[in-house]
Each structure stands twice: as structure tokens, then as C-alpha cells.
């Protein structure tokens, strides 16, 4: 009866990619722990880049810095 | 000081149903554990059907299969 | 396919109380949203009182203050 | 490698405020536990006021009652 | 910068199985979404069987019923 | 009414450090968003190093490699 939460930034994840994440995570629980797929939940949570921080900066700011060659 | 997270698929949950979930979950914590309702939080998280998987398939795909009489 | 997380302080919740929380939360989702109980998950997370804070203080400290008649 | 989730009601949190939350939470983990900021994640989850309950009522209802001078 | 939470019942998951879950979930995010493994977190949360409910009953009760041939 | 979850590896976090995390996170929400501290929850979740993965390896393995001068 596993529950898997996959949290990623909201940056154009397609329906096909979501389906691949659901299939892959379910297969992982079946293969490693022998879980029943019919009671394996996978929830994908897409988070706006303004709302995700790494190293003290939002992903929005990190993406802009990377695109602009910023050194700060 | 309980915190209750209710995660469901986003399929037209009405404001009245949300209020009923909040009331019911709060009452449950008061009744079973004697918690103070004023510090009982209930958060409802609605998840797109593309983003919720069961048995290796998205709920979107499961709903379509059920509606179409698919046997797969 | 709901998922319910009930987070409470670890203060002697009994097995019977846990069963009552599971039954009550499942019934709530069935009654309010017509969900299938067989795919309704309820997870109870017990948190040490040192690890739960309210109003800037741990529950351990709040309990001690309440027991000791502290006014702060 | 900390992960911090900040869940608040969706009531006009600005990009600057989100940046301040990310900076502050990251600094807290660095200062208190000596964590590496480059592997410190902060995720901000904004929740609609209909979907957050306190004391058995939605925040939407609590805000309306406060605005209207309701005493209940 | 994905974050993956894998929640399972605490029923003897070995260190090798945990390592396999970590590797598999990380590979999934790399393969499907092209994420950087160095900022991919995987957290495994093991939940006591008394604290996990399905279909209104704890997993402890479900396991006992299955082992004893109970029909209830 | 914010809820803050701070998830860290279980590596000897002291009670004083937990209190500092609770105070700091609460102050952050008060300072940045003007939230009421009396309804600000902070939950600290300590995760075993076997159960936390980064870059496809458990923190247990990463710590051992770092201590032993491993180059892999």
C-alpha cells in the first residue's frame, strides 16, 4: 500500500512524462518490495518556480541567472 | 494541535463538500483524541487526475477506460 | 482514491484510537465525496512533542508550562 | 540536505515575500544545524482559503466573519 | 531539483532495498525529466502497520485477518 | 495559519536546536507575512540516514564515503 509523492518544478511536464513517472514509480515498488500495484498511489505535485528555493534563491532566479550568464 | 491533510483528485469538489470535510475531520480529532478544535488544521489538496496514479495508470486514463467500457 | 494524513503529537495514542481515526476518516471520504473505501488510505504520523512547535515554543515546553502553572 | 515545506493560505503572497521566506528558511538551517545551503530545498505551498480549515471552519468563512463583525 | 517521498509500511525493509528505492527513484527522474541527480532527494518514510489504514481498517488488522483466514 | 515542515536527517539534533528551529521558523512567518504566531505550527521530521537519498545514494553511504576518503 505504498504512497509516492513526486514533487517537481512546474516547467512543462507533459502528460506522457507524468504517465512515465507513474509507471516507473509503481514498477519500482513492485520490483523492490513486492508491493501490489493496485494499491500503489503516485501523486505528482508541480510547484511554481517562484515557490521552490535552492541555495537560498528561487528556481525562477536561478534559471534567469543561468540564462543570462549572471555571476551573482 | 493536529494537522490533517486530505488529498483527493480535482473532480468538482464543491465549497459545501470542502466545508463538510473540514467539519468532519475536526470533529473526528475532538471526539477520538480530545483535541482542541481551535488548533486543529485541515488542509484539502486537490490533485489533477493526470497527476494521480493508481495501479500504474493515471486517474485520467482509468476514468476514460471506465467510461469507454475498455477491458484493459 | 483519497489519501489522508493525520499528524498528531506522540502522547499515548492507543491502538483503539488509531482504529477509530482510520474508520472515521474513511467514512468521512465515503459520506462526503462518495469515495471507494478500498482505495482510501489513512496514515497517522505521531510526532514527538519536542518536534512540534506552536506559537514559537515546543509542545514539550507548552505542556510543562501548563502543568507548572506558568503564566508566560 | 534539509527539505522545508512552508504551507500558507493563498492570499496575495508576493514574489519578494516568497524570496524572503526562501532566504530566511535556508539561513535558519545553516545557522542552527550547519547545513549546506546548496542542498537545502524550500517549497512554498499556497492553499486556497476554501481548502484550509481551522476550528472546523474554512479560512474563507473565518475571514468573512471577521470582516462582517460576526461574533460566532 | 525533485523531491520524492516514498511512504511504505514498516515491515522489515532492508538497507539494500532502501538503496534500491533511492537508486530507482533517482534514475526515474533523470530518465523521464532529465533532472540532475545531485539535487534529487529521495525520502523513505516507514509507517507502523497500526498507523496505516486501508478500507477503514489498519494494516495490522488486515494482515491478521489474511493470516488467520478470517472472512470479515 | 501557516504550517511549516522541516525535514532533516536524524543526526543528533538537540532539544535546544529544535527549539531554535521552531522559534526561527515562527519568527520568519510573522516577519515576512504578518502571520499570527499562536496559529503557526512547526513540525520537525528527523529521517534516518538510511532513508534519505541524494544523488542516488543514501546519506549513510555518502557519510561513510566522505569519512573514508572514498573517491567513488
> In chain D, at which residue ranges do the beta strands (DSSP E only) sit?
3-9, 41-47, 52-54, 57-58
pLDDT grade for D69, boundaries at 50, 70 and 90: low
Q: Which domains does chain D have, with CATH numbers?
A: 3-67 (3.30.429.10)
Are the beta carbons of F3 and B3 separated by less than 8 Å?
yes
DSSP, collapsed to helix, strand or coil, labels residue F71 as: coil
Please enumerate in sequence order all residues whose Cβ is within 8 A of that of F15, keeping only pairs 6 or more positions apart, or say none: C50, C58, C60
Q: What is the ipTM metric for this complex?
A: 0.95
Please enumerate in sequence order all residues whose Cβ is within 8 A of that of B17, keeping only pairs 6 or more positions apart, or say none: C32, C33
Query: Catalytic site residues of B?
Result: 2
- Name chain B contacts of D58, Cβ cutoff 8 Å: 15, 18-19, 22
Nearest to A22 among B7, B47, B58 (CB): B58
| pLDDT > 60? residue D21 | yes
pLDDT grade for F20, boundaries at 50, 70 and 90: very high
Q: Measure E56 CA to nearest chain C CA, in Å.
A: 5
**What CA–CA distances, in Å, run from A51 to A48, B48, F26?**
5, 19, 19
Q: Is chain A in touch with chain C: ≥3 Cβ pairs within 8 A?
A: yes
Nearest to F24 among D21, D28, D35 (CB): D28
- End-to-end, the C-alpha distance of chain F in Å comes to 45
Q: In chain F, what percentage of residues exceed pLDDT 70?
A: 94
**Per-residue pLDDT tens listing for chain E (72 residues):** 899 999 999 999 999 999 999 999 999 999 999 999 999 999 999 999 999 999 999 999 999 999 986 554
List pLDDT tens digits, range B4-31: 999 999 999 999 999 999 999 999 999 9
Are the beta carbons of C51 and F18 separated by less than 8 Å?
yes
Nearest to F55 among E15, E19, E37 (CB): E37
Q: Which residues of chain C have pLDDT under 50?
A: 72
Q: Measure A61 CA to nearest chain B CA, in Å.
A: 26
Q: Measure C71 CA to nearest chain B CA, in Å.
A: 20
* Res E1: pLDDT: 83
- Name chain D contacts of F13, Cβ cutoff 8 Å: 33
- Name chain E contacts of A30, Cβ cutoff 8 Å: none
Nearest to C4 among B4, B9, B54 (CB): B4
| pLDDT > 70? residue F71 | no
Mean pLDDT computed over every residue of chain D: 94
pLDDT grade for D4, boundaries at 50, 70 and 90: very high
Q: Annotated catalytic residue: which of C1, C2, C17, C33?
A: C2
DSSP, collapsed to helix, strand or coil, labels residue B63 as: helix
Euclidean distance between CA atoms B20 and E30, whole angstroms: 41
* Res C23: pLDDT: 98
* Res F1: pLDDT: 83
Amino acid at each position: 500500500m505504498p504512497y509516492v509523492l513526486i514533487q517537481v518544478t512546474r516547467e512543462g511536464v507533459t502528460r506522457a512524462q507524468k504517465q512515465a513517472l507513474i509507471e516507473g514509480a509503481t514498477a519500482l515498488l513492485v520490483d523492490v518490495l513486492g508491493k501490489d500495484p493496485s494499491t500503489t498511489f503516485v501523486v505528482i505535485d508541480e510547484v511554481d518556480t517562484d515557490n521552490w528555493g535552492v541555495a537560498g534563491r528561487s528556481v525562477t532566479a536561478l534559471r534567469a541567472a543561468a540564462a543570462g550568464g549572471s555571476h551573482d
